[in-house]
Structure 1
Amino acid sequence: MEQILLTQSAGALFGFLGVLLGAFGAHALKDKFTGDQARAFETGVRYQLLHAVVLLVLSFNLSFTSPLEGYIGKAFVLGTFLFSFSIYGLVFSELRGRKWRFLGPVTPLGGLLLLVGWALLGYSFVAHLF
């Protein structure tokens, strides 16, 4: 039950923040971003919103009674957070003139966790075939 609530809460929060940050980036910051910054920011928002929906779908379709399902949910939650929010941190810090370079390696780590989540989800489907 805790894992379902975590997954639903994270999905709802990521969805809310994705819309908020997307609107903020498209309206309040569009004149401040360089082309590369705008593309990076949009990538963070896109991945965040996509995985918010994935988390909500998973929370209503998985029972989270097996460790595998728990790992899937946690990989998507942590991966989304690390991937998207490290991009936001890089873009915003660069706008302020002091790019937080330590976040550079965090983005691919988040992407790796997203890949792990997808791979585990695929494995959970295939494992039921045999």
Structure 2
Amino acid sequence: GGFYDRLVPRSESDRFWLQAYVEILLELGDAWGSHGAPTKAEQYYGCARAFAEKGSLPPTGSHRIVLMHHYELLIHQAKHDQAHDVLHALKHLDTAYAPHLTTSMDQDLGLDRSNGYDDDDDDDACAEDVN
């Protein structure tokens, strides 16, 4: 359950994916905002606006970053069942799009995100729109 189910690959058009992606970014913005992190919320709103205006689908790596940030939020909120579901969605994403990433993903996760997710090595979904 949960909105990240929309990231599980389907044979839908890019338009479908873009819309789902923008909605997810907006929902993450709302979640961080209501969790007392307005700066982080504004980053997500900015990303959502940028993608909506650009009208093109982000690379698969960006999906992973959004899922990881969502995982971080859920752990922070102590919603461990939902966090587990996010990991499950990540598995789906990696298995479907890039099987060779699955092992490195497990290593990346280390299943301990208490001090946040460091995505400096990734192409951030919209770094140029956030910074």
Q: What TM-score, normalized by structure 1, do the two folds share?
A: 0.45
Instruction: Select the structure of larger CA radius of gyration.
Output: 1
Q: As a proportion of its length, which structure holds more helix?
A: 1
Normalised to the residue count of structure 2, the TM-score between the two structures is: 0.45
